[in-house]
């Protein structure tokens, strides 16, 4: 589930986890004041392999064309 940041005028900034399809919160769950949803800087990146580009291509055809080191073959 994604993380959303909200700002309450009384309580301050807090994070809330809920699904993308769920409507945004309107009231603070602690004090009941109006909320403002913030633009989150949360970026979830998960690397599961040794190379930076290992998940950029869905098939192995790129690796066959580029070579094992991931570099593009020279065309000159």
In the prediction, which pLDDT does 54 show? 56
**Residue corresponding to tokens 């993308």:** 20
pLDDT digits 0-9 by tens, 3-50: 889 999 999 999 888 888 999 999 999 999 999 988 866 566 666 666
In the prediction, which pLDDT does 51 show? 59
In the prediction, which pLDDT does 61 show? 59
Assess whether pLDDT exceeds 70 at residue 72.
Answer: no
For residues 6 and 16, the answer to whether their CB atoms sit within 8 Å is: yes
Is pTM beyond 0.75 here? no
For residues 35 and 25, the answer to whether their CB atoms sit within 8 Å is: yes
């Amino acid at each position: 589930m994604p993380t959303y940041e909200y700002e309450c005028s009384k309580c301050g900034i807090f994070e809330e986890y809920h699904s993308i399809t769920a409507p945004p919160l309107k009231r603070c769950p602690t004090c009941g004041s109006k909320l403002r949803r913030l633009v989150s800087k949360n970026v979830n990146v998960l690397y599961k392999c040794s190379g930076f580009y290992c998940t950029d291509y869905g098939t192995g055809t790129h690796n066959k064309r580029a070579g094992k080191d991931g570099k593009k073959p020279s065309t000159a």
